[in-house]
Structure 1
Amino acid sequence: MGERKGTNKYYPPDFDPAKHGSLNGYHKTHALRERARKLSQGILIIRFEMPYNIWCDGCKNHIGMGVRYNAEKKKVGNYYTTPIYRFRMKCHLCVNYIEMQTDPATCDYVIVSGANRKEERWDMAENEQILTTERTEKEKLETDAMFKLDHGGKDKEKLKKALPSLSEIQDHQSGWKDDFQLNSALRRKFRNQKKVLAEQEEKDDAVRTRTNLSIPLLPEKEEDKKLAALLTYQAPDSYEDKKHSKRKEISFRPWFNSTTATPGRATGNLLQKLGLQVREAKAARALGSSQSSLIRKRTEGLGIKNEPCATVTRRTSDPEVHTCVGEVRAAVTSLVADYSDSDSELGK
């Protein structure tokens, strides 16, 4: 990027190229500025990238591969003619310092102190892969005929063990050789599925239109069909029907509470008759009063007889006599007689 910037270096009048060499020599500064502040000790500040995953010994946190640090780089030795460099950096999560150095023998980095490596290395022998032949073994195969013969026998045994799995893999791969047939089968399957989806969408649209819904419908299941068949839907009664049934229940309710246990159906019929006759008597008493015209208008649709009671019409001057006592007594007497007859029949 240097050729794209206007540096505009100023050379002072007392600058001597033979004496100073460059502007950095004139200003007595290094070209790397702060990165070279420990250059006299053989240390250079560089940007170091973590080569693999490690665990910090100070904070016990995980530091991933690729995390970058400002590390102090210095030379600590040689591997033959290859220099060995050591890097010292501070953990960004604690005050612990991590030291690593190069290992030219294995083309890797080695942790000196401050951290532990997270073991994620691939072992070819553990994963049943073919190992590379070492140099000493290659030389022995070329020079020793007996070793070569023995080595060939071991290879044949390995081949016999691996042959079934290899043939299975080859058979599986042979089914994928014809690309045209695979593409045709896939497109045919897609067309069939598309038709099924279109038909299902039409059915769902019809159901949504009929039920006035705007939600997506799930596919039908046999369990849902069985559950729907077990359900019975019944429309609730209207307000008028409920009101009519309640009035009917009140009208057939007995007026007198029974103090003794009554024998079932006969007792219920007896109380129903008694209540009906008492209501008729009270209606007759009311029709004989001064408000009889208004009551007749209101009771026309109830099916009540409008014949006034003889006792009421005969003695209208006395309000206490408006009870129709005689007729009520006669009704009760007849009902008691019926009740005794029903009890005798049940006893038989």
Structure 2
Amino acid sequence: MLEKCGMGERKGVNKYYPPDYDPSKGGLNKFQGTHALRERARKLHLGILVIRFEMPYNIWCDGCGNHIGMGVRYNAEKSKIGMYYTTPVYQFRMKCHLCDNYFVIKTDPANLDYEVLSGARRQERRFDPAENGTVVPDERAKIQKLSTDAMFKLEHGADDVDKLKSSTPALQRLEAVQDRLWDDFAANKFLRDKFRVCNSEALRGFDDSDQCR
């Protein structure tokens, strides 16, 4: 018996039921001794499921030395390797599409990130705000201490105020230079006068003004 359906639902509904199929023995997959995920579940008895994994950041392959960009997708073997409190930690093993090297990446729930375990190295392009005097976002331990230690919070706030005071003269100098080199009102007036002349020339049927070139 062959169930017929629309083309849009072909993959989800169209299934062949052999003549000897017995519904009392369970679903069609159980009757045929197959898994609903087919080849993706071939290592499920080992705790491994094949999934489609998308590279979370740029890496360098240790096998061929080629660059692999963020967003490149692989068929990866996903397995659970531990727990971070109540959050599972998963490991992904995949083969480089440019060579025979395998690389392994795992989730890092503590830092909301991924960590390369082997076979590749991460391309580091991280911005360090401390290099240009920007207020650096606090790490987790400091955030926790700010919420529980009132004295530490007071000292931390005083440090931020001192940093602001030390950077104020430089900001004021930049603003003064900008105001001296660029006047918004004058620039706007210049452009409006130029366009007014051009429009006038266009209405008169010719455009010989140097301002319109």
Superposition TM-score, scaled by structure 1 size: 0.48
For residue 130 of structure 2, what is the amino acid of its counterpart? Answer: A
Alignment of 1:303-342 (within 5 A): none
Q: CA deviation at 1:17?
A: 3.3
Match of 2:204 in 1: none
Q: Percent of aligned pairs with the same residue?
A: 55
Q: Aligned pair in 2 of structure 1 residues 188, 89: CA closer, same or farther (>3 Å)? A: same
SS of residue paired to 1:95: coil
Answering whether residue 31 of structure 2 is matched by residue 26 of structure 1, we say yes
Q: CA deviation at 1:31?
A: 1.3
Match of 1:52 in 2: 57
Query: Going by fraction, where is strand more abundant, 1 or 2?
Result: 2
The one-character-per-residue Cα deviations of 1:100-148 (angstroms, maximum 9, x if unpaired) are 11110111111111011111122232342212342213422x2x3xx55
Q: Aligned pair in 2 of structure 1 residues 97, 10: CA closer, same or farther (>3 Å)? A: closer
2:208 to 193, 198, 208: 198
Alignment of 1:1-348 (within 5 A): 4-6=8-10, 7-12=13-18, 14-20=20-26, 22-133=27-138, 134-140=143-149, 142=150, 144=151, 147=152, 150-168=155-173, 172=178, 176=184, 183-190=188-195, 198=208
**Which of structures 1 and 2 has the larger relative contact order (alpha carbons within 8 angstroms, sep 6+)?**
2
Superposition TM-score, scaled by structure 2 size: 0.74
Structure 2 runs not aligned, ≥5 long: 1-5, 202-206
For residue 25 of structure 2, what is the amino acid of its counterpart? Answer: K
The one-character-per-residue Cα deviations of 1:242-284 (angstroms, maximum 9, x if unpaired) are xxxxxxxxxxxxxxxxxxxxxxxxxxxxxxxxxxxxxxxxxxx
* Cα distance between partner residues in 1 of 2:62 and 2:110: 26
Match of 1:212 in 2: none
For residue 208 of structure 2, what is the amino acid of its counterpart? Answer: A
Query: Going by fraction, where is helix more abundant, 1 or 2?
Result: 1
For residue 76 of structure 1, what is the amino acid of its counterpart? Answer: I
Report the structure number with the largest CA radius of gyration: 1
RMSD over equivalenced CA pairs, Å: 3.2
CA contact (8 A) 2:146 2:153 kept: no
Q: CA deviation at 1:65?
A: 1.0
Q: CA deviation at 1:189?
A: 3.3
